[in-house]
Amino acid sequence: MAGVGRLREYAVPALIVAGAIAALAAALGIAGYDPELALGALWRGSVGSFDAFASGTLVRAVPLIIIALGFALALRGGMLNIGAEGQFLAGAVAATWLGTHLAGWPALLAIPATWLVALAAGLLWIVVPVVLRVKYGVLEVITTLLLNFVAEALVSFMVQGPLQEQTGIYPQSDPIAEAARLPLLPGTRLHLGIGVALILAVVLWFFFARTLAGFRLLAAGSGPRAAALAGRIDVTRMAALALLVSGALAGLAGATEVGGVSYALYPNLSPGYGFTAIAVALLARLHPPAIVVTGILFGALETGAGAMQRDAGIPAVVVQAVEAAIILALLLADARTHRGRAYAGAAA
Amino acid sequence: MSDGIELVAGFLAASVRVATPLLLAATGETLAERSGVINLGIEGSMLAGALAAAIGSTAGGPASGLLAAIAAGAALAALFAAVSVHAGADQIIAGTAVTLGAVGITGAAYRSFYGTGGAGLSIPTLGPVEIPLLAKVPVIGPALFAQPVTTYFAVALVPCVWWLLFRTRPGLALRAAGESAEGARAAGVRVRAARTAAVIAGGALAGLAGATLVLAQVGTFSERMTAGRGFIAIAIVVLGRWHPVGILAAALFFGAATALQFVFQASGVGVPYQLFLVLPYVLALLGLAGAVGRVRAPRDLGRREAT
């Protein structure tokens, strides 16, 4: 019986994704585009060739997987981190700042150093929401959201101020030192970040499935009563820690993006990774190994959307509507089958 | 001397203009939250309202733009209500998804409607309506009595919503649904109907808020132009203690904080402009922290209905 439940757990998301893509094709047809051309471009641009898959889809999947793992961790503790976008940018700013000062360092030191400062910056960016939530019960959803806009302004300030490139003309930073750039898989643009994402997925899987702390976090997230039944668990502390780690991971994703893809800080560094990652995590039912799969799926979808824009003239942002439809359909499907996990909303 | 007076008058007028969409959206969100539903999708309703206003006004003048915006905002809120109120899904995630979807749909629709050139400044907008005599009062005249019609509507809405919430039976039912769904149902209140109505009305007002942004403030549409104003409106609801008058005060405060950047830009003080960009968000954070302990949310806010 458990096997059937497991199958159903993943069959519903699979059906929803297929349905969403079919709906996209239908909508494009109605809007006067050529659905065959569009879906063809989507396919070719994402998984149609090894190069598209490795240099496009997987590269795009790296930040999605890393952020989604953090989001899942926090949500398992009953907390919603809707501010990954801001923590990602904070991490990117920190990694760029350090990365531009590391000329001559050995890569073996430079790369971990940028990761560390990015982790710290992501952590710093979520400290205020965590404190407000834990001490005063201010809903972390609103505070993390508000800080996204502060982070955008911070990046805008940095690329026109302290971190602006030497000529002072363009709103971007200088490129980071060679030593701080992530190694690439030969012949592709796939960088070491994919390894980071996979290792984190394994670590989190182990944490949830095999450790007492992981079990306690789940119990804490299931509500105070479940936590009481499972033994003496400091629900607030567990949830706060999970939220902090989710912020740090989003910051790390900023570092892998700067170190592996952009090599510099730009105002539009993130095309909404923080929000797409929510869909990635929910679609995977918050299971770390499944997050790798859904992260690659959404990486493919977004990379393919870029190809769709180039080849069929369809605005790539339409993919965000597809993501939203997937989340809403998933919520509806879950509400039908079972009542799901109660979200412990706070007062203010 | 006269320069100073002009600066103050300009600042006050800008404050009121900027506060208008915040007031409309926050008043709408108050209805939803008083009924027990937190709708993060109002950011999406606002954005959809902004685009609908641009398209509607281009096609048939400002009045059509306003109506289209109200319809667009209400439609997204209805989608949110179907998922959160009727299916009982998580309100936060459903609201985030609605906003995400609005970003995608408006972005795609905007580009296919206007092409790469953008909407331009050819959209018919709402001019100020001067109230005779009062508009001529120095300093405060232009700020209070020479505003677009949407501003007068937003202010007039404050006593109306107060009356609705605290002096009518539907208002009582709505508040009962927000305090305790079970208790309200036992008393004969149709909780889901009340919440659905409140959420859709809130979405309609958020759509109107988006319309004022385009038709009475910026004059054009750009992608993601709401820039979190819907979320600030949610913070305003908390700061205003879920009370229409408190929300009016909080919205004006945020309007003034945002309008400060115009004054500083005009004065040429060498402060990075991003500092003023972040001011409303930082103030919202500080306000949320400071509001703690002194305010109490509707008890069943955000809680899923037990069925």
Tens digits of per-residue pLDDT, A180-199?
A: 999 999 999 999 999 999 99
Mutate to test the interface with B, among A149, A276, A326 (most CBs of B within 10 A): A149
Query: In the structure encoding, which two tokens stand for residue A285, read together?
Result: 């039912």
pLDDT of residue B2: 64
Residue A2's pLDDT band (cuts 50, 70, 90): very low
Per-residue pLDDT, A339: 45
Min Cα–Cα distance to chain A from B130, Å = 35
User: How close, in Å, is residue A152 to chain B by CA atoms?
Assistant: 9
Q: Give the other-Cβ count within 10 Å of A332's Cβ.
A: 17
What percent of chain B has pLDDT above 90?
51
In the prediction, which pLDDT does B145 show?
78
Residue A34 touches partner B, C-beta closer than 8 Å: no
Rounded mean pLDDT of A166-174? 90
Along chain B (307 residues), what's the average pLDDT of each consecutive run of 10 residues?
74 90 97 95 96 92 94 97 91 92 91 72 78 76 80 94 95 92 88 95 97 90 89 91 94 90 72 83 86 72 64
pLDDT for residue B106 = 93
- Beta-bridged to residue A173, according to DSSP, are A164
Q: Inform me whether the pLDDT recorded for A335 exceeds 80.
A: no
Question: Distances from the Cα of A38 to the Cαs of A10, A29, A311, A322, B107, in angstroms?
Answer: 27, 10, 8, 14, 18
Of A72, A147, A132, nearest in space to A347 by CA: A132
Q: A41-50, A259-268, B137-146, B253-262: which has the minimum mean pLDDT? A: B137-146
Using a CB-CB cut-off of 8 Å, the residues of chain B touching A282 are 93
Between A and B, how many CB-CB pairs are < 8 A? 164
- Comparing CB atoms, the residue among A141, A321, A328 nearest residue B104 is A321
On chain A, the residues whose CB falls within 8 A of the CB of B282 are 150
List the single residue in B40, B277, B297 with the smallest CB-CB distance to A347.
Answer: B297
Interface contact B149, partner A, CB < 8 A: no
A333 touches chain B (CB under 8 A): no
ipTM over 0.90: no
Instruction: Compute the mean pLDDT over every residue in chain A, rounded to the nearest whole number.
Output: 88
Q: Kindly tell me the burial class for residue B150, based on how many C-beta atoms sit within 10 Å of its own C-beta (0-12, 13-18, 19 or more).
A: buried
Give the model's pLDDT for residue B292: 65
Enumerate the residues of chain A whose CB falls inside 8 A of the CB of residue B292.
Answer: 132, 136-138, 348
Helix, coil or strand: residue A191: strand
Chain B's closest residue to A344, CA to CA, is B303
Q: What is the pLDDT of residue B300?
A: 81
- A184 in helix, strand or coil? strand
pTM: 0.90
For an interface test with B, which of A302, A320, A337 has the most B Cβ atoms less than 10 Å from its Cβ?
A: A320
Query: In this predicted model, which residue has the larger pLDDT, A214 or B248?
Result: B248
In whole angstroms, give the CA distance from residue A94 to residue A90.
Answer: 6
pLDDT for position A344: 34
How far apart CA B238 and CA B7 sit, in angstroms, is 31
